[in-house]
Amino acid sequence: MERLGDALLLLVLLTDLALLVTDRLSGSIRLVALQGVLLGLAPLTLAHGASLHLAAIVAGTIAIKAVVLPRILLWAIREAEVRHERQPSIGHLPSLLLGLAVTGIAFLVAARLPALPGNSLPLLIPVALSTLMIGFLLLTSRRKALSQVLGYLVLENGIYLFGLTLADRLPLLVEMGVLLDVFVGALIMGLVVFQIQRELETLDSRELSQLTD
Amino acid sequence: MLLILAGLGLLVLGAIASLMAARSPRRATLLGVGGTIAGCACALVPVVRVLLGHAPESLRLPWSVPFGVFALGLDGLSGFFLLPILALSALAALYGSEYLGAFRGRVVPARAWPFFALLVAAMALVVLARNGVLFLVAWEIMSLAAYFLVVLEDETPAVRSAGWTYLVATHLGTAFLIVMFVVLGHEAGSLDFERFGAALPLAAPLAGLVFVLAMIGFGTKAGFMPLHVWLPEAHPAAPSHVSAVMSGVMIKLGIYGLLRTLTFLGPPPAWWGWTLVAVGLTSGVLGVLFALAQHDLKRLLAYCSVENIGIIALGIGGGLLGVHHGSAALAVLGFAGALLHVVNHALFKGLLFLGAGAVVHATGTREMDQLGGLLKRMPWTGSLFVVGAAAICGLPPLNGFASEFLVFLGAYQGVLHPAAAVAGPALAVLAGLALIGGLAAACFAKVIGVVFLGEARSGHVAQAHDPGTAMTLPMVVLASGCVLVGLAPVLLVGRMGGALEPLTRLPAVAIELALAPALLPLQWITLAAAVLLALVGTLSIWRRRRLAGRPVREALTWDCGYARPTPRMQYTGSSFVRPLTRLFGGFLRTRTTRVAPVGPFPGPAALATATPDVFRDALFRPAFRMASGTLAKLRWLQHGRVQLYVLYILLTLVVLLVWKLR
C-alpha cells in the first residue's frame, strides 16, 4: 500500500505543476478535479483496514472535490464566457521554475519538521507543503478571479493532505465540517466570479483595486 | 446562579426573538421589550438576595477558548452594580417601547431591540465575569451593542460621526485593557480573577503599571477627563432610553472595572489616591463647566455625567488615601460615597435622560433656546425632571445629597488627619466638591429656567404634551427611587458591607463602626429637609385653598413700558450663565460670533456662542491628525491588489516556517 500511496502523492505533485503551466481554464478545472480524485483515494492507502468512517470520507471528498465543485466552476466559466488565463503576472516558464523552487523548499522544510508518529508515508508532508505553496503561487500570480478560486482550492487540498496525517484521530464530523467549509467557500466564490463578470465585463481582479479605502 | 443564568438566557432569547420577528415592528418591539424586562426581573432576584446578606454565589464551566473559563461570580461588589444595571435597563426598555414608536419608518424596531437586550446581557456579564477572557468578550459585546444603538438614526451625518468617535474611543480603551490583562495574567499564570488575587503582592512598578493601564482603559469608558470626548458626542446621538442606560449604568462599568482591578492589586500606594483625586477634580469641575456652556439639552446631560464620574473618582481617591494611611473613616466613607453615588447617578441621570427624551419626543428639538414654558404643557415630565435636577445638584432630602455627604464627611475626617499627605488632598476634595455642587446647581437652574419655566420661545413647544404611561411610569419609578434613597440611604448603605470589605481591606465590624457616625447626621439633615419641604408643600396647598374662591387674573409683569414684549426677550440659556462662563472663560474658550447693532436705527443683529470641547480640539484632533499623517506613509502597502495581499500571507508563512525550524 505504501508504494501506491507514494505514487498517488507524486501524481498530486504533478497535477500541481501542470496547473502552473495550463492556461485553458477548463483544463485547469479538470486538473483540479483530477487532484480531487487523487486526494479522495489517498486515505485508502493510509488506513489500516476498511471502516464506514473511511468510506464516508472517501466518498464525500470525491463527490465534493472532484464532481460538485468542478461542475460549479465549469458552469461559471460557461456563463461568464471566459476561456483563457491571458497574461498571467508571471509567465509559464518562470512560474514553473518558481513552483519547482517552492517544492524544493517544501522538501527541505519537511525534512526538518519533527516526524509524526505512525505516519507511514514519507512523501505526505512535503507534498502537502508544496501543494499548499503552489496554491499560494497560483493565487498570487493569476489575474482572472476564476484562476484564483482554483488557487484557493489547491491551497485547501494542501491543508487536506496535512489533515490526513491525523486521519485516524480526526473525528468524521470535523472532516465533514472542513469539506463543507470548502464547498460553501467555493460556491460563493463561483457566484461572485459570475457577478463580477456581469458587472465589470471582465474577470481581471486587478480591476477590483478601487475597493481600497 | 441559576436565576442569573436564566435571566441572561431570557435577554439573549429576547434579542433573537425580536430579530426573528423583523417583519412585524409591533411583535419585534413586544418580544424585545418583554425579553429585556423578564430577563432583568429574573436576574434581580438573586442580586437582591446577595445584597441582603446571602452567601456570594459562583459558577465555573469549562470553555473551549484558550485561557478562558466561563467563570461567573456574584458577590457584594457585583451585586451593587447589577442592581442599577438591571433596574434601569428594565425601566428604559419600557420607556423605549413608546419612545421608539415616534421613529416609525426611520428606525426599524428589529434593529433596535436585539442590540438593546444584548447590551443589557453583556453589561450583566461584565459584572459577573470572573475570567479575563470572558470579561473582555463581554466588554466588547457591550461596547459594540452600544455602538449599534448609538447609530440607530444613521441617516444623519452627525450621528454617524458620533458613532465613529465612540467606536474609536472604546476600542482604544479596550486595547489598554487587553494589555492590562496580559500583564496580570503573565504574573498570575492564569486569567482567572481568583488567581489574580492569589498572585499578590505584585512588585510595586508592575502594580503601578496595571493601575495606569486600568485608569486609561476603564477611564475611557467611565469618561474621566480628558478621555471623556466620546460622551458628549454619543449621548445626544443615541435615542434617549439608550442614553439613559449608557450614561446611567454603562459608563459606571468603567468604575466597576477600576474597583475590581484595585481588589487584585494589594495595598494601594498613596499616589494612586492622588491620581484619582486629581482626575476627579478635573472631571468634576471641568465637566460641570462645560455642561453650563451647552445649548443642547442632552449634550449638557452628557457633560454632567462626566462631572458625576468626577465625584465618584473623588470618593474612590479619598478611599484609597484612607486605606494607604490607615484611616478607616476616610477609607470607608470615601468608597461608600462613591458606591452610593454610582447607584444614585443611575437613578437621577436615568430620570433626567428619560425626561429629556420626553421633551425631545414632544417638541422635536434638543436646543434649549427653542424651548421654554414646558412645565405648564408637560406637568408630569416637568415636575419629575425638577426632582431629578434637585437630586443631581445634591440637595437634601434627595439621594444625590446622601452620597455627596458621605464623601464630604470622609474628606472632613481626612482633613483632621495629622499627615499633610492626607489632609492636603482631602482639603482639595472638600473644595472641589463644594465648587462642583455650586456650579451644578447653576447648571440645572439654567435647564429648569430655560426649558420648563418662562414662555415658549418657538413654535416647537406649541403642540407639546406629556407622553403616555409607558414613558411616564419609568420616570415616576426613578423619581420615587431618588426620594426613597434620599430619605432612607441606609437601605443601600447598610447593604454595602460585602462590596466595601475587599476595597477597604477592613473587617465588617470596622466598616459598620465607621459608617454609623456618618449615617446619623445624614438622617437628621434629610429629615429636617423633608420637614421643611412638607411645610412648603402645606403652605402652597393652603395658599391655593385660600385663592380657590377668589378671581385670579393673569397680567404682564412690569416691562419697563415696552409696548410689545415677545418671548424672545427672555433670558436665553447662554445669557443666563454668561457671568459664570465669563469667569471661567480661560478653560471654556467659548467662541462668540456676533453682528453688533450699529447706528441710531440699527439693522438686524445676531449673536451666537459655541463651546466646543477643548480636549477634543486641542489634544485629540492634532494627535489623530499626526497619526494619520504618519500612517499614510504605509498606505502603499494597501493598494487593493488581492494577489499581492496573498503574497504577504505567503511570505509571512514562509518566514515563520523558516524562523521556527532554523
B408 and B337 fall within a common domain: yes
B451 and B316 fall within a common domain: yes
| Residues with Cβ within 8 Å of residue B653, at least 6 apart in sequence | A136
B279 within some domain: yes
B654 chain-A contacts, CB cut-off 8 A: 105, 133
Closest CA to A127 of A171, A179, A164, A167: A164
Name the residue among A136, A137, A205 with its Cβ closest to that of B642: A205
Q: Please answer yes or no on whether B650 and A136 come within 8 Å at the CB atom.
A: yes
Q: Please answer yes or no on whether A109 and B657 come within 8 Å at the CB atom.
A: yes
What letter represents residue A50's amino acid?
Answer: A
B404 and B529 fall within a common domain: yes
Residue B585: predicted pLDDT: 82
CA distance B282 to B291: 14
Residue B277: predicted pLDDT: 93
B414 and B528 fall within a common domain: yes
B649 chain-A contacts, CB cut-off 8 A: 136
B557 within some domain: no
pLDDT, one tens digit per residue, over B43-77 is 999 888 888 888 888 888 888 777 888 888 888 88
B515 and B650 fall within a common domain: no
Confidence check: pLDDT of A204 > 70: no
pLDDT, one tens digit per residue, over B338-388 is 999 999 999 999 999 999 999 988 888 888 888 888 888 888 999 999 999
B658 chain-A contacts, CB cut-off 8 A: 109
- Cell numbers describing residue B8: 441572561
Q: Please answer yes or no on whether B638 and A205 come within 8 Å at the CB atom.
A: no
B577 and B618 fall within a common domain: no
Indicate the helix (H) or strand (E) that contains B69: strand B69-74
Confidence check: pLDDT of A115 > 70: no
Containing structural domain, residue B511: 267-543+572-581
B498 and B638 fall within a common domain: no
Q: Please answer yes or no on whether A211 and B646 come within 8 Å at the CB atom.
A: no
B331 and B372 fall within a common domain: yes
B519 and B444 fall within a common domain: yes
Q: Please answer yes or no on whether A211 and B639 come within 8 Å at the CB atom.
A: no
B549 within some domain: no
- Which DSSP string corresponds to B330-342? HHHHHHHHHHHHH
What letter represents residue B116's amino acid?
Answer: F
B527 and B466 fall within a common domain: yes
B636 within some domain: yes
Please report, for residues A148, B71, B460, the alpha-carbon distance to residue A135 in angstroms, rounded to integers and kept in the order given.
9, 43, 66
B299 within some domain: yes
B627 and B535 fall within a common domain: no
Mean pLDDT of chain A: 77
Question: Per mean pLDDT, which range of A118-127, A145-154, B576-585 is the poorest?
Answer: A118-127
| Distance separating the N- and C-terminal Cα atoms of chain A | 54
B496 within some domain: yes
Here the ipTM equals 0.72
Q: Give the CA-trace dihedral at B88, B90, B92, B93, to 10 degrees.
A: 160
Q: Report the phi/psi class of residue B543: left, alpha or beta, with left for phi > 0 and alpha for psi in -120 to 50.
A: alpha
B294 within some domain: yes
Reduce the secondary structure of B384-426 to three states and give it as a string: HHHHHHHHHCCCCCCHHHHHHHHHHHHHHHHHCCCCHHHHHHH
Of residues B128 and B108, the one with the higher pLDDT is B128
Q: Domain count of chain B?
A: 2
B323 within some domain: yes
Considering only alpha carbons, which residue of chain B is nearest residue A135? B650
| Residues with Cβ within 8 Å of residue B88, at least 6 apart in sequence | B244, B245, B248, B249, B346, B347, B350, B478
Indicate the helix (H) or strand (E) that contains A153: helix A145-164
pLDDT, one tens digit per residue, over A41-68 is 887 777 666 677 778 778 888 888 888 8
B471 and B360 fall within a common domain: yes
